[in-house]
Structure formats: C-alpha cells, structure tokens
Amino acid sequence: MILTITANPAIDARYFLDSLKVGSVVRCNKTNKTAGGKGLNVARVVDLLGQSVAVTGFIGGRNGDFIREEVQKAGYQDCFISIAGETRICLGILGADGTQTEILEKGPQVTKAEQDEFLAELPAVLKETEVVCISGSLPAGVQTDFYQQVIEKAKVLGVKVILDTSGEAFREGILAGPDFIKPNREELSAYFGRSIKTKEHAVEAAKELIEQGVGAVAVSLGAEGAVLVEKNRVISVEIPQIQVVNPVGSGDSFVAGLATALAKGENLKTAMGLACACGTANALEEKTGWIEKEKLDQILKNMIVSEKKA
C-alpha cells in the first residue's frame, strides 16, 4: 500500500469564465469541486495506476466532511485526523484565454493535541505501507519539524519516504534523511539562493543535498524532463513534446508514478520513466491529478531514460 500525507488539504473549487472584470457581476459557465491538496492528487494518480492507497492529514468542519465523502467514494483508506478547525477552500478562476488565477485560503489552526494524535496513530498505518508520500505545506500551528518526525517514524519501520515540500518544512524534513525528495527547479533555486537553469545545475545542487543525508534527489524540470541523483549515479529523463492543457498537479503525478514503481519493486530507471510519464500525462488533462492510460502508454514509448556515473 502507498500512504499519502496531505497536512493542509482543501476543497479545490474551479470556476470557468469567459472573462473576469474586477468590480462587476460575472457569469460562470462551469464549475467543479474536488478533494484537493498535493497528497490527494498523488493518491488519485496512484489509484489510477492500480495501486491501493491510504490518505491522511488534518481535516475539519463541513469542508472536511466533503473531503471524507470524496475519499470514500474513491475507495481510498481514510486515515485522516479530525480537527476542530475548518478545512480551507482554494479557488481557481480559469479564463477562456488560458489564464488561471488562484485564491488560496490559509487553512485552519492545528492544535498540539491534534498533532500528537496524528503522530500517535501514524505507526499503525505505516506498518501496512511500502511507500509514504509527504506532500505540500504545513497548516498553521504545526511545528516546522513535523515532517521530520514523520520521516523518523517511517524509517524505524523500514518504509520508503518521498518528501515533496518547500520552505522550512523542507529544510527540517531533509534532516531526517528521507529516501527521496522531489524539488522542482524553482524550489531548488530558493533553497540554495542561486539560479538552477540547466540539468547540470540541478545535478550539482542535488549532490549537495545528498551530502546532507538525503538518499536520492529527483528534480523535475518541466519540458526538459527530470534527473534523479544518487551518490554514485545520475538518471536523466527526456520527455516527448506535448501540447500542455493544464500543468497543475504534474509534480504530484510525478510523485505518484515514482511511488507506484517503488512499491512494485521496480528499478530506479523504470521508476523515473514512469514518474516523468505520469507528470507529462497529467499536463494533457483538464483535471488536476489525472492521467489517461492510453496516453500514458504512448508517452512511455517515447521516453528516453539514460544513466551515468555521478
């Protein structure tokens, strides 16, 4: 089983408009609402890839009830911790011209007692888990070393960890030595305070992170593909050119592909090929965190995966 952690989930509400004029009444052509947050996007793609998945994090209020209902409909194992606060809503406004404006609520305050409950119940779920994916930001009130504590509990039980976050949660998380981290170009640049422009730059930065105790670093580079760096080798992936429809959720789909391959015991070249194919396939879809198998299979046929010594 694969476990995904979404500490700060949301209802993703998307409004499709012909145009947006501030200060006026705007008619909405189409709307949709989904259980959102990076870990839930990961879970959706893991499920589409045919793997069993459990989801956890903090949810509360009527918005939390909506997410639980969506999780149950999808057939995921619901391990969420209920909190007193109200789960947030993230609003996406999509224009006919292809623009997207996002309004993101901060989210609820999570108490120390609620955090302690999460950490106390986590080992029981981890015992049934091959890979845990830790994705996204921390909600208000949660200490910045929270992911570090989660990683330490997973390592004690021999569960592989993929960490996909940023900021202080990332800085603290890598201190626990996760098996994999998945920064993108912008997140690497922010962490090191320098521009990561090329694959070579990404490899250099990844090596520095490995020296800090990280097992492997998978850097997603958009249209340029991705690299995975271990201590003694570099795996590079070139992806086919596509007409992007919606890139949101491609990083989460990448994580889902990587986790699925690891859970199945695939080698890292195969895992990186599937990860990049999932990220690319997601970008072809209007939905966030979604892939179509026929498109995925076609992308995999045109993927170029190479390996060299680090």
Question: Which residues does the annotation mark as catalytic?
Answer: 252
306 three-state secondary structure: strand
Token representation of residue 241: 């050119």
Q: What are all long-range contacts of 182-186, with beta carbons under 8 Å and residues at least 24 apart? A: 182/217, 182/218, 182/219, 182/220, 182/251, 182/254, 182/255, 182/258, 183/217, 183/219, 183/220, 184/219, 184/220, 184/221, 184/222, 184/251, 185/219, 185/220, 185/221, 185/222
CB-based contacts of 98: which residues, under 8 Å, 6+ apart? none
Type of residue at 155: K
Q: What's the CA gap between 33 and 11, in Å, rounded?
A: 6
Q: Are 147 and 163 in contact (CB under 8 A)?
A: yes
Q: Angle, to 10 degrees, between the axis of helix 146-156 and the axis of helix 112-126?
A: 20
Q: Six-digit token pair at 170?
A: 């990332």
DSSP 141: T
List the structure tokens of 292. 């179509």
Parallel, antiparallel or unpaired: strands 2-6 and 131-135: parallel
- Residues 309, 274 contacting (CB under 8 angstroms): no
Residue 298 in tokens: 């076609």
